[in-house]
Chain A
Amino acid sequence: MKKLSVWLLPALTALLIVGCAGQKGPAEQAVASAESALASVHDLAQKYAPEQLGAVEAQLQSARDSLAQGDYKGVLAAAPALSAAISGLKDAATAKQADAEAALAKAKDAWGPISTDVPKMVDAIQSRVDILSKSHHLPKGVTKDTLASAKSGLDAMKSAWSDASNAATSGDFTTAMSKAQAVKDQATQIMQSLGMSSS
């Protein structure tokens, strides 16, 4: 009995060391696979799902830390969740990319008509403002403040329209449309204030 117990503890210890060493390879492989998978979606995720990317990177770093500490069992236990997170990240980023591209295509289609409309609205307003500025009195419903507001509004619209046009020229139709619609809305408001509806 004494002979057995003398050898039992060292034998069990050796088994434990061998067992842990046996998990090192798979754990290293698991981390390497996760790093490779994340690298392949990194740029897409950075652009379309940056917050989710941050969370997955934190998960990966945790696995790296566990590996460095020799917690191979922990790495292997966390590997499935990490793999699922990376897969989910790819799906989310891909979906958001598709949405963004659809929105861009829609904005590009809408740019044509509005890029014709808005300059003509501005021209019409400019013409009216120029004439009213020569008037000895103002028409009913139009005050000095209304006219002054229309003049400053014209300056603001021209500046904003320049920004919208520049955005369209650079291909950013989403920004261009957002700015263009704001100008159109302002032009509509000014035309109403000047009594410019047709009858």
Chain B
Amino acid sequence: MADEKTPATADNPYTQIYTVQSGDTLSKIAQKYYGDASLYPKIFQANRDQLSDPNRISPGQKLRIP
């Protein structure tokens, strides 16, 4: 079951996964997948189990894209 740090998408194998590249930000990733950078909180919330700060992501991190 999902809790605050483990979102519901965590156990869904069909949730899209994106591997962070150098220079990426959540806003850029949101722009790519949603067409709208302002939707970056959706990605942050889906990855609360590995992200504590939406401004801090690292190359190689595998992020869920809900």
Contacts and interface: CB of A to CB of B under 8 A. Distances in A.
A131 B32 CA distance: 13
A166 B39 CA distance: 38
A196 B12 contact: no
With a 10 A CB-CB cut-off, give which of A117, A127, A139 has the most chain B CB atoms.
A127
B14 A135 contact: no
Contacts of A197: 16
Contact of A199 (B18, B38, B42): B18
A120 B14 contact: yes
A139 B13 contact: no
A124 B12 contact: yes
Contact of B9 (A127, A134, A138, A142): A127
Interface in A60-95: none
Interface of A: 117, 120-121, 123-124, 127-128, 131-132, 134-140, 142, 191, 195-199
Contacts of A137: 35-36
A142 B34 CA distance: 9
Interface of B: 8-9, 12-19, 31-36, 38-39, 42, 66
Contacts of A198: 16-18
Contacts of A132: 34-35
Q: Closest 4 interchain pairs by CB? A: A135-B36, A124-B14, A137-B35, A139-B35
A119 to B, nearest CB: 9
A117 B15 CA distance: 12
Nearest to B42: A131
A136 B38 contact: yes
A198 B39 CA distance: 19
11 contacts: A123-B14, A132-B34, A136-B36, A136-B38, A139-B34, A142-B35, A196-B14, A197-B16, A198-B16, A198-B18, A199-B19
Contacts of A199: 17-19
A102 B9 CA distance: 37
B19 A191 contact: no
Nearest to A191: B14
